[in-house]
Amino acid sequence: MMFTRFRIAALAAAALTVSGCASTQNARDFETQFALAQTALAEDIAVLASDEFLGRRPGTEGEIKTLDFMERELKRAGLVSGTNDPANPWRAPVGLVTTVAQSGNVILTIEGSEVLLDASDATVLTGSSRALVEGAELVYVGSAAAGVDADAVSGKVAILQGEPGKSPARRAKLFDQGAIAVITLVETQNSILSLRNSAGRERFQLASSVDDAISAYVTRAAMAEAIPGWEGYVEQLEELLKENSSAVLPLSATARIEASTDRREVTSHNLIGKLPGTNPDAGAVLMLAHWDHFGECGELGDEDRLCNGAADNASGVAAIIELARRLARSGPHDRDIYVLGTTAEEWGLLGAEAFAENPPLPLDEIVAAFNFDTVALAPRGGAIGFIGEGETPLDPLVAQAIANSGRDQGSRILAEQFLQRQDGWALLQRGVPAIVISSAFGDEDRLNDYLSTRYHSADDEIEGMELGGAVEDLLLHQSLIEQVASVEGYSPAAK
């Protein structure tokens, strides 16, 4: 393909008519490639986001159809299996567990009298089919800001004062120190209702890390009503903490906490293809996109309940497929180029975590990873968002590619909000240089409009997508990945 012989800078400049230096022929070549890429993206997204694919929910017929399509298109492009596992070519199994909370209650015993907390004031969550704590002593740990003495909470139920953004880590620490259950105090009954509604919907977890702990949530008002003199205990602990930052306050009360959960094991899959390089000892480049979505997620009674996930993330999957075709035609390249379609991203980057825990190649051999997520939002010529700026040695290459494109770089503050909300985060935490370069994250107003209207809803249909920016981003990635896949073009040692 002649496109790869031209620098992306000249092509983008010609297409946007911001430079008089590019030749008319270059401009025509760019427009031809732009049109071909746009057609390919539109066609593949139409397939992946069709009703036939059932919303691409893991563990369903929609998963099978999605993986069949991806494997077929990548094989046609000339890729081979990248699992490096003869027993599981192309599809790396990912063990998942689905849970739906069924019932639970909290009973406190104070001075021989039992108090059953009302369901509007308390809920209990666990990953176990059935969990029970009976006759366990209660200790109040407050906000547990400085950590607590493990001996003081081991084998007991710890009562934690909840704080937005901090409670999950503090609960985890209490469990690590031996607490057999944690009661987190929340401020309102609406918080209890929200937690119960969330737990009442099916959610996926990695089978290797299912949380079987017993986590109860109780309103502060209900705790104060159930335990006489509660506010005095709160003040007493505050005084103790002035002298001992790890102090806890034993209470003259015990708890019976139980919960049941509908739990089901599911085997899903990451799809992994590979474009072999001529010098695989030089490392590898990774392109990834999550293929999963929610299936039916609309409200009961809605005319259309199927969430097709056209932008999120049929568009990202289509982008890596089309890039694989183009890179196969412009090769061979020095480095192997892996293509990864991850499962269960929507439930916490689970497929990416599974890949990182059991990769088909040593993670330190991946010189660069490019993630594609919800790419079809912005029009042509928009600013480019750079998620992962300042986190990897790739910054100079990306900065030069953006400058060469003639486009502006979007707000770093906006991009950083999504650093931990995309699959690349699972890799970045393990030292893999993983980034996102996308015009979808370059325009805050346009992104917020999508997030407030179509995101994770049945309205994320192909009719609402904008492919102009996605095609520009794709062509920029082609040039950048060709450079990174070349030993001469990029050396990870040159940081």
Mean pLDDT by 10 residues, the chain (495 residues): 32 38 68 93 97 97 98 98 97 96 95 95 94 95 84 95 88 94 96 92 91 93 95 92 88 95 96 96 97 86 87 97 97 96 97 98 98 96 96 96 93 96 97 97 95 94 92 96 97 68
**Cα–Cα–Cα angle for 465, 31, 486, nearest 5°?**
90
* Cα(68)–Cα(5) distance, integer angstroms: 33
Instruction: Assess whether the region 2-78+276-484 and the region 98-263 belong to the same CATH fold.
Output: no
What's the DSSP call for residue 91? E
* Sequence ranges of the domains in the chain: 2-78+276-484, 98-263
Dist CA 372 CA 289 (whole Å): 5
CA distance 160 to 179: 11
Task: Provide CB contacts within 8 A for 33, sequence distance 6+.
Answer: 1, 3, 11, 475
How far is Cα 203 from Cα 263, in angstroms, rounded to an integer? 10
Q: State how far the Cα of 460 lies from the Cα of 306, in Å rounded to an integer.
A: 10
Neighbour-count burial of 440, counting CB atoms closer than 10 A to its CB (0-12 exposed, 13-18 middle, 19+ buried): buried
DSSP secondary-structure letter at 313? I
Other C-beta atoms closer than 10 Å to the C-beta of 128 total 16
Q: What is the pLDDT of residue 2?
A: 30
E strand map for 126-172:
130-142, 157-161
Query: Does residue 285 contact residue 366 with C-beta atoms inside 8 Å?
Result: yes
Give the integer Cα–Cα distance in Å for 105 and 333.
60
Return the amino acid letter for 314: A
- Terminal CA-CA length for the chain: 31
Do 141 and 158 touch, CB atoms closer than 8 A? Answer: yes
* 3-state secondary structure (DSSP) of residue 485: coil
Give yes or no for a cis peptide into 86 (omega within 30° of 0).
no
Say how far apart CA 438 and CA 449 lie, in whole Å.
17
Per-residue confidence (pLDDT) for residue 241, from 0 to 100? 87
Contact 337, 485 (CB under 8 A): yes
148 in Cβ contact with 249 (< 8 Å): no
Q: How many CB atoms lie within 10 A of CB 370?
A: 26
Per-residue confidence (pLDDT) for residue 61, from 0 to 100: 97
* Residue 256 three-state SS: strand
Rounded Cα distance between 243 and 249, Å, is 13
| DSSP assignment of 39-84 | HHHHHHHHHHTSGGGGGG-TTSHHHHHHHHHHHHHHHHHT-EE-S-
Report yes or no: 310 and 255 within 8 Å, Cβ to Cβ: no
How many residues are present in the chain? 495
CA angle at 194 for the pair 164 and 353, rounded to the nearest 5°: 65
Calpha distance 214→132 (Å, rounded)? 8
Cα–Cα distance list, 420 to 195, 349, 366, 387, 479 (Å): 22, 9, 20, 10, 26
Alpha carbon 143 to its chain centroid, in Å, reads 28
CATH code: domain 98-263 is 3.50.30
Residues 6+ apart with CB under 8 A from 415: 385, 386, 387, 388, 389, 436, 441
pLDDT in the model for residue 298: 66
Please name the helix (run of DSSP H) or strand (run of DSSP E) that holds residue 185, with its range, or none: strand 181-186
Superfamily of domain 2-78+276-484: Zn peptidases (3.40.630.10)
Cα 269 to Cα 137: distance, rounded to the nearest angstrom:
43
H or E stretch covering 192: helix 189-199
Distance from C-alpha of 241 to C-alpha of 140, rounded to nearest angstrom: 12
For every residue of 329-385, which 3-state class applies, written as one string?
HHCCCCCEEEEEEECCHHHCCHHHHHHHHCCCCCHHHEEEEEECCCCCCCCCCCCEE
CA dist., res. 326 & res. 478, Å (int):
7
Q: Is 155 left (phi over 0), alpha (psi -120 to 50) or beta?
A: left
Q: Tell me the longest C-alpha to C-alpha distance in the chain.
A: 89
CA–CA dist 84, 87 (Å, integer): 9
DSSP type of residue 245? T
Identity of residue 162: G
- Which pTM was predicted? 0.86
